[in-house]
Protein backbone atom coordinates (compact mmCIF):
# COMPACT_ATOMS: atom_id res chain seq x y z
CA UNK A 1 0.00 0.00 0.00
CA UNK A 2 2.69 2.49 1.07
CA UNK A 3 4.85 1.51 -1.89
CA UNK A 4 1.99 2.13 -4.33
CA UNK A 5 1.24 5.49 -2.75
CA UNK A 6 4.91 6.39 -2.93
CA UNK A 7 5.03 5.44 -6.61
CA UNK A 8 1.87 7.39 -7.46
CA UNK A 9 2.98 10.51 -5.58
CA UNK A 10 6.48 10.28 -7.04
CA UNK A 11 5.00 9.97 -10.53
CA UNK A 12 2.89 13.10 -9.99
CA UNK A 13 5.80 14.99 -8.47
CA UNK A 14 8.07 14.26 -11.43
CA UNK A 15 5.34 14.79 -14.02
CA UNK A 16 4.30 18.18 -12.65
CA UNK A 17 7.94 19.19 -12.13
CA UNK A 18 8.52 18.46 -15.82
CA UNK A 19 5.40 20.42 -16.74
CA UNK A 20 6.75 23.42 -14.79
CA UNK A 21 9.61 23.59 -17.27
CA UNK A 22 7.72 22.53 -20.38
CA UNK A 23 4.58 24.72 -20.29
CA UNK A 24 4.80 28.02 -22.13
CA UNK A 25 2.43 29.96 -19.88
CA UNK A 26 4.11 31.18 -16.66
CA UNK A 27 0.86 30.97 -14.65
CA UNK A 28 0.48 27.31 -15.60
CA UNK A 29 4.11 26.74 -14.61
CA UNK A 30 3.42 28.13 -11.16
CA UNK A 31 0.30 26.04 -10.72
CA UNK A 32 2.24 22.90 -11.70
CA UNK A 33 4.91 23.86 -9.16
CA UNK A 34 2.17 24.03 -6.52
CA UNK A 35 1.09 20.52 -7.55
CA UNK A 36 4.69 19.37 -7.17
CA UNK A 37 4.79 20.73 -3.63
CA UNK A 38 1.59 18.89 -2.79
CA UNK A 39 3.00 15.62 -4.11
CA UNK A 40 6.16 16.13 -2.06
CA UNK A 41 4.06 16.94 1.03
CA UNK A 42 2.30 13.62 0.43
CA UNK A 43 5.66 11.85 0.46
CA UNK A 44 6.46 13.53 3.78
CA UNK A 45 3.21 12.19 5.25
CA UNK A 46 4.20 8.70 4.11
CA UNK A 47 7.46 9.16 6.04
CA UNK A 48 5.37 10.06 9.13
CA UNK A 49 6.59 13.66 9.03
CA UNK A 50 3.23 15.43 9.17
CA UNK A 51 4.71 18.61 10.56
CA UNK A 52 7.15 18.90 7.68
CA UNK A 53 4.36 18.16 5.19
CA UNK A 54 2.07 20.85 6.59
CA UNK A 55 4.85 23.42 6.89
CA UNK A 56 5.85 22.64 3.31
CA UNK A 57 2.29 23.42 2.23
CA UNK A 58 1.94 26.55 4.39
CA UNK A 59 5.28 28.06 3.44
CA UNK A 60 5.82 26.99 -0.15
CA UNK A 61 2.36 26.36 -1.59
CA UNK A 62 0.57 28.86 0.63
CA UNK A 63 2.95 31.81 0.78
CA UNK A 64 5.82 31.75 -1.68
CA UNK A 65 3.86 30.47 -4.65
CA UNK A 66 1.07 32.99 -3.99
CA UNK A 67 3.68 35.75 -4.19
CA UNK A 68 5.00 34.25 -7.45
CA UNK A 69 1.44 34.29 -8.80
CA UNK A 70 1.09 37.91 -7.70
CA UNK A 71 4.20 38.99 -9.55
CA UNK A 72 3.38 37.08 -12.71
CA UNK A 73 -0.19 38.34 -12.73
CA UNK A 74 0.87 41.94 -12.21
CA UNK A 75 3.55 41.76 -14.90
CA UNK A 76 0.93 40.16 -17.16
CA UNK A 77 3.36 37.70 -18.72
CA UNK A 78 1.91 35.37 -21.33
CA UNK A 79 2.82 33.46 -24.43
CA UNK A 80 2.58 36.39 -26.85
CA UNK A 81 4.83 38.73 -24.89
CA UNK A 82 7.49 36.13 -24.10
CA UNK A 83 10.89 37.61 -24.96
CA UNK A 84 13.01 35.72 -27.44
CA UNK A 85 16.04 34.13 -25.80
CA UNK A 86 19.29 33.70 -27.67
CA UNK A 87 20.95 30.29 -28.13
CA UNK A 88 23.87 31.34 -25.97
CA UNK A 89 21.61 32.06 -23.00
CA UNK A 90 19.84 28.74 -23.42
CA UNK A 91 23.21 26.97 -23.54
CA UNK A 92 24.38 28.72 -20.38
CA UNK A 93 21.16 27.75 -18.58
CA UNK A 94 21.53 24.11 -19.65
CA UNK A 95 25.15 23.97 -18.45
CA UNK A 96 24.28 25.57 -15.08
CA UNK A 97 21.37 23.19 -14.51
CA UNK A 98 23.55 20.22 -15.57
CA UNK A 99 26.21 21.21 -13.05
CA UNK A 100 23.56 21.36 -10.33
CA UNK A 101 22.50 17.84 -11.29
CA UNK A 102 26.11 16.65 -11.00
CA UNK A 103 26.40 18.22 -7.55
CA UNK A 104 23.14 16.61 -6.38
CA UNK A 105 24.09 13.17 -7.71
CA UNK A 106 27.56 13.49 -6.22
CA UNK A 107 26.27 14.42 -2.77
CA UNK A 108 23.66 11.64 -2.76
CA UNK A 109 26.07 8.97 -4.03
CA UNK A 110 27.30 8.11 -0.56
CA UNK A 111 23.78 7.76 0.82
CA UNK A 112 23.80 3.98 0.29
CA UNK A 113 26.40 3.43 2.99
CA UNK A 114 24.71 5.57 5.60
CA UNK A 115 23.11 3.78 8.52
CA UNK A 116 19.39 4.31 8.52
CA UNK A 117 17.69 4.52 11.88
CA UNK A 118 14.79 2.07 12.24
CA UNK A 119 11.40 3.61 11.55
CA UNK A 120 9.50 4.64 14.65
CA UNK A 121 6.09 6.22 15.11
CA UNK A 122 7.63 9.19 16.91
CA UNK A 123 10.03 10.22 14.17
CA UNK A 124 8.15 13.17 12.77
CA UNK A 125 6.38 14.33 15.92
CA UNK A 126 6.66 18.02 16.60
CA UNK A 127 7.95 17.50 20.16
CA UNK A 128 10.94 15.53 18.94
CA UNK A 129 11.58 18.02 16.18
CA UNK A 130 11.53 20.89 18.69
CA UNK A 131 13.87 19.06 21.06
CA UNK A 132 16.33 18.33 18.27
CA UNK A 133 16.17 21.89 16.94
CA UNK A 134 16.67 23.55 20.32
CA UNK A 135 19.30 21.13 21.67
CA UNK A 136 21.43 19.62 18.94
CA UNK A 137 21.05 22.30 16.29
CA UNK A 138 20.57 25.42 18.39
CA UNK A 139 23.32 27.49 16.77
CA UNK A 140 22.36 26.83 13.13
CA UNK A 141 18.73 27.45 14.09
CA UNK A 142 19.51 30.82 15.67
CA UNK A 143 21.79 31.80 12.80
CA UNK A 144 19.04 31.06 10.28
CA UNK A 145 16.66 33.15 12.42
CA UNK A 146 19.08 36.09 12.17
CA UNK A 147 19.29 35.49 8.44
CA UNK A 148 15.50 35.67 8.14
CA UNK A 149 15.47 38.88 10.16
CA UNK A 150 18.08 40.41 7.87
CA UNK A 151 16.03 39.36 4.82
CA UNK A 152 12.91 40.93 6.33
CA UNK A 153 14.66 44.21 7.06
CA UNK A 154 16.09 44.17 3.56
CA UNK A 155 12.64 43.61 2.05
CA UNK A 156 11.22 46.54 4.01
CA UNK A 157 14.11 48.75 2.88
CA UNK A 158 13.55 47.78 -0.77
CA UNK A 159 9.83 48.39 -0.40
CA UNK A 160 10.30 51.98 0.77
CA UNK A 161 9.79 54.45 -2.03
CA UNK A 162 12.11 57.16 -0.78
CA UNK A 163 14.63 56.67 1.96
CA UNK A 164 15.50 59.89 3.67
Partner 1 sequence: MGISLFILYKVILVVAVFAISLVIAMYSTYAERKVAAFMQDRLGPNRAGPFGILQPLADGVKMFMKEEIIPQVSNKFLFILGPSIAMFTSCITGAVIPWGTSLHIAGHDFTLQVTDINIGILYVMAITSIGVYGIMIGGWASNNKYSLLGALRASSQMISYEVAMGLAIIALVMTTGTLSLRDIAAQQTGWHWNLFYQPLGFIIFLICAFAETNRTPFDLPESDSELIGGYHTEYSSMKLGFYLFAEYINMFISSAIISTLYFGGYNMPFIGRLGLSHNLEAILGIVFLFAKIFFFIFFFMWVRWTVPRFRFDQLMNLGWKILIPLSIFNVAITGFIILMFHR
Q: Which residues bind partner 1 (CB under 8 A)?
A: 27, 31, 34, 50-51, 54-55, 57-58, 61-63, 66, 69-70, 73-74, 125-126
C-beta of 6 vs 48, nearer to partner 1: 48
By CB neighbour count within 10 A (0-12 exposed, 13-18 middle, 19+ buried), where does 16 fall?
buried
For 17, 22, 164, the CA distances from 34, given in Å and listed in that order, are: 9, 15, 40
Please give the Cα distance from 68 to 20 (Å, whole number).
Answer: 13
C-beta of 95 vs 133, nearer to partner 1: 133
C-beta of 74 vs 87, nearer to partner 1: 74
Give min distance, CB of 100 to partner 1, in A: 29
C-beta of 17 vs 129, nearer to partner 1: 129
By CB neighbour count within 10 A (0-12 exposed, 13-18 middle, 19+ buried), where does 40 fall?
buried
**Residues 9, 39: contact at Cβ < 8 Å?**
yes
Give min distance, CB of 7 to partner 1, in A: 23
Give min distance, CB of 117 to partner 1, in A: 20
Give min distance, CB of 106 to partner 1, in A: 34
Amino acid sequence: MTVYLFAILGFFAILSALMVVLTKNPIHSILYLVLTFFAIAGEYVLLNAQFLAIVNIIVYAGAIMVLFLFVVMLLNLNEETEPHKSVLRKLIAVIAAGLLLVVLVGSLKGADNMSIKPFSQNTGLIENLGKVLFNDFLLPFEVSAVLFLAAMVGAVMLGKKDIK
